[in-house]
Amino acid sequence: MNSNNNEVLIRVENLVMHFPIYRGVIRRQVAAVHAVDGVSFDIRAGETLGLVGESGCGKSTTGRTILQLYKPTSGHVYYRDQDLTQLKPEAMRLMRREMQMIFQDPYASLNPRMTLRDIVGEPLMAFDEASGKEIDRRVADLLQLVKLDPDFAGRYPHEFSGGQRQRIGVARALALNPSFIVCDEPISALDVSIQAQVVNLLEDLQKEFNLTYLFIAHDLSMVRHISDRVAVMYLGVIVEIANSDVLYIEPLHPYTKALLSAIPVADPVFSETHQRTVLQGDVPSPVNPPSGCRFRTRCPIADETCALKQPEFREIKPDHFVACDKI
């Protein structure tokens, strides 16, 4: 888990992802959704970086753009010093062996007409890693790895529960021995007792194969549990990154503070004695984000200077970055 001295596996630099909005007969671009608006961070080999924020803040888009599932508007993503944004399509395709994704919805992310063997074996075929009987053997190994019975290989996704399907998704992601996996809300569709099963599995696999995770979630307590460091996103920008214990004990950005204070704590005595700071209002539209600091419209400590310029993302303490000029 301790990864402070490890090499940087993924470096994201000023990543911008705007989705254009077209209107009218000639489909003129009238505006853009500023889904991700200049984020920079590193992910170190063997660590889990948690990425949290409210829905619509751009956390999933960030994950997908890192994997080049969207072509970024601008910015760079380096994987071991290779700039993924500059790679030719075929080179990028080969690169995908190294980086995989686990999706949020275990119902929509598995093709209902494919058997487990086809689903988990597809990456192996796509990269000519195996054929014939060899595929069966590898699929059986993978299913065993995620604690599913290898005899299930001939079955279809509808025969499995949500937690089991998510294991199938994990097996598929592991088929090519990747080193980096983007987990896009892998547990939010699952029941409480099943969530713990999947999180434990992800942790075991990380130890066994030295995997690096980008763990996207809105369940803040689970993110703290699984992550080494946590990045907090708000409206397309990262407002704070720190070691997860530091972030949860000593949050600096007012948004992080509010977000953490909103977590319902499963302890009636604690909730009776602690006053929560409840954020008012909703997240503004990412089509027209507020000028200057994006959080200023809901921020308890904002003043008129916050509207003037976007706060600099600076290192306040070693390894603790915050984008707020009031701190």
Partner 1 sequence: MAELLLDVQGLETRFKTPEGIVHAVNGVSFTLSEGETLGVVGESGCGKSVTMLSCLRLIASPPGEIVAGKALFLGQDLLKMAPEEIRKVRGAKISMVFQDPMTSLNPVMSIGQQMAEPLLLHMGMNKEQARKRSIELLELVGIPNAADRLKDYPHQYSGGMRQRVMIAMGLSCIPQILIADEPTTALDVTIQAQIVELVKRLREELGMAIIWITHDLGVVANIAHRVAVMYGGYIIEEAPVKELYANPTHPYTLGLLGSLPKINASERTRLYSIEGMPPVLYQKPQACPFAPRCTFVQERCWKENPALVNITPTHRVACWADTTSGSERL
Site residues (vs partner 1, CB under 8 A) = 1, 54-55, 161, 163-164, 191-197, 199-200, 203, 218, 220-222, 224-225, 245, 248, 258-259, 261-271, 276, 278-280, 282
Report the residue number, 53 or 121, with the smaller CB distance to partner 1.
Answer: 53
Strand pairing category for 28-44 and 8-23:
antiparallel
Q: How far is the CB of 25 from partner 1 (least distance, A)?
A: 24
* Nearer to partner 1 (CB atom), residue 94 or residue 249: 249
Task: Compare residues 134 and 149 and give the one whose CB is closer to partner 1.
Answer: 149
| Torsion angles phi and psi, residue 98, rounded to 5 | -80, -20
CB nearer to partner 1: pick between 35 and 175: 35
Helix count and strand count (H, E) for the chain: 10, 12
Other beta carbons within 10 Å of 228 = 21
Q: Which residue has the tokens 């992550």?
A: 227
Tokens, residue 126: 């796509």
Nearest distance in Å: CB 124, partner 1: 29
Q: Which is nearer to partner 1, 168 or 258 (CB)?
A: 258
Residue 318: CB minimum distance to partner 1, A: 20
Is 5 or 280 the residue whose CB approaches partner 1 more closely? 280
Radius of gyration of the chain (CA): 21
Compute CA distances 229 → 4, 10, 202, 306, whole Å.
10, 14, 16, 27
Nearer to partner 1, 88 or 158 (CB): 158
Nearest alpha carbon to residue 102 among 120, 124, 77: 120
Query: What are φ and ψ of residue 320, in 5° steps?
Result: -125, 105
| C-alpha dihedral, 296 to 298 to 304 to 308, nearest 10° | 20
Nearer to partner 1 among residue 25 and residue 192 (C-beta): 192
Residue of 261, 258, 265, 214 whose CA lies nearest to 234: 258
Q: Give the pairing of strands 48-52 and 229-234.
A: parallel
Find the shortest distance in angstroms from Cβ 325 to partner 1: 22
Distance of closest approach, residue 121 Cβ to partner 1, in angstroms: 25
| Contact yes or no for 51/107 (Cβ under 8 A) | no
Least distance between partner 1 and beta carbon 54 (Å): 4
Least separation in angstroms between residue 276's CB and partner 1 is: 6
Report, in Å, the least distance between residue 244 CB and partner 1: 9
DSSP 83-136: EGGG--HHHHHHHTTTEEEE-S-TTTSS-TTS-HHHHHHHHHHHTTS--THHHH
